[in-house]
Amino acid sequence: MVTSNEPNPVALTIAGFDPSGGAGVLADVRTFGAFGLTAVAAITSLTFQNDREFFGAVHQTAESVRAQIEPLLKANIHSAKTGMLPTREVVREVARLFRDEDLPAPVVDPVLISSAGNRLMDEDAIAVLIKELFPLSRLVTPNIPEAETLTGMRITSEAEMRMAAAQIRKMGAPAVLVKGGHLVQEAEGRAQEQGNDSKLSIDVLDDDGMVTVLSEERVEGVVLHGSGCILSAAIAAGLGNGMPLEQAVAAAKSFVLKEFRKVSEAGAQR
pLDDT in tens, the chain (270 residues): 444 566 899 999 999 999 988 899 999 999 999 999 999 999 999 999 888 888 999 999 999 999 999 999 999 999 999 999 999 999 999 999 999 998 999 999 999 987 667 789 999 999 999 999 999 999 999 999 999 999 999 999 999 999 999 999 999 999 999 998 767 545 444 444 444 445 677 899 999 999 999 987 766 655 677 788 999 999 999 999 999 999 999 999 999 988 867 765 655 555
Q: Has residue 187 been placed in a domain? A: yes
Which range marks the domain in which residue 140 is found?
A: 10-268
Q: Concatenated DSSP letters for 131-178?
A: IIIGGG-SEE--BHHHHHHHH-----SHHHHHHHHHHHHHTT-SEEEE
Query: How far is residue 248's CA from residue 65's CA, in Å, rounded to a whole number?
Result: 28
- We report the CATH number of the domain holding residue 219 as 3.40.1190.20
Cα dihedral across residues 117, 81, 219, 49: positive or negative: negative
Whether residue 1 lies inside any domain: the answer is no
Is residue 99 a part of any domain in this protein?
yes
Q: Which of 119, 240, 245, 238 shows the shortest CA–CA distance to 177?
A: 245
The secondary structure of 92-122, three-state, reads HHHHHHHHHCCCCCCEECCCCECCCCCECCC
How many domains is the chain partitioned into structurally? Answer: 1
Beta-carbon contacts of 143 under 8 Å, excluding residues fewer than 6 positions away, are 178, 179, 181, 182, 228
The answer to the question of residue 2 being in a domain is no
User: Does residue 34 sit within a domain?
Assistant: yes
**Residue 254 covered by a domain:** yes
Separation of first and last alpha carbons in the chain? 39
Provide CB contacts within 8 A for 124, sequence distance 6+: 88
- Whether residue 4 is contained in a domain is answered as no
- d(Cα 6, Cα 14) in Å, to the nearest integer? 25
Task: Please report whether residue 128 resides in a domain.
Answer: yes
